[in-house]
Amino acid sequence: MDKKVKDDSYRIQKIKFYCQSITEFTKNESYENFRENDQLNFAISFALSQIGEEATKLTKEFQIKHDHIPWRNIIGIRHRIVHDYSGSNFITLWESATESVPQLLEGINKILGEV
């Protein structure tokens, strides 16, 4: 069995995948539908938490080298979702998904040299 090395490169690819997923989930969606659609809410919340989880596992050197990315904020939203889901603010989650994630994806693409 070929075991994939879970290094910074692997983790940044995972973050990109979840960013792209959120972008697809939110395409042509409204905040109102996000609030009312449990599946959409769950999918976005899960993907945001996974982005934060992968960010926690990036090396400090990587985070410092790419300090234009707000790693602490990304990890912070993960903590809010995972540890206090019922208290998570729908507006904050929606804004993260529709405003912060596209910016993060742009930053990730720059890191990967795909811009």
Domain boundaries, the chain: 8-111
**Amino acid (1-letter code) at residue 27:** K
Residue 66 has pLDDT above 80, yes or no: yes
Q: Which long-range contacts (CB under 8 A, 24 or more apart) does 88-94 make?
A: 88/45, 90/31, 90/34, 90/35, 90/41, 91/31, 93/34, 93/41, 93/44, 93/45, 93/48, 94/31, 94/34, 94/35, 94/44
71-75, 77-81, 101-105: which range is least confident on average? 77-81
pLDDT at 25 (0 to 100)? 97
Amino acid sitting at position 100: S
pLDDT at 81: 86
Per the listing, tokens 């742009």 go with 106
Catalytic annotation, residues: 78, 83
Instruction: Give the predicted TM-score (pTM) of the model.
Output: 0.89
pLDDT in tens, 1-48: 344 678 999 999 999 999 999 999 999 999 999 999 999 999 999 999
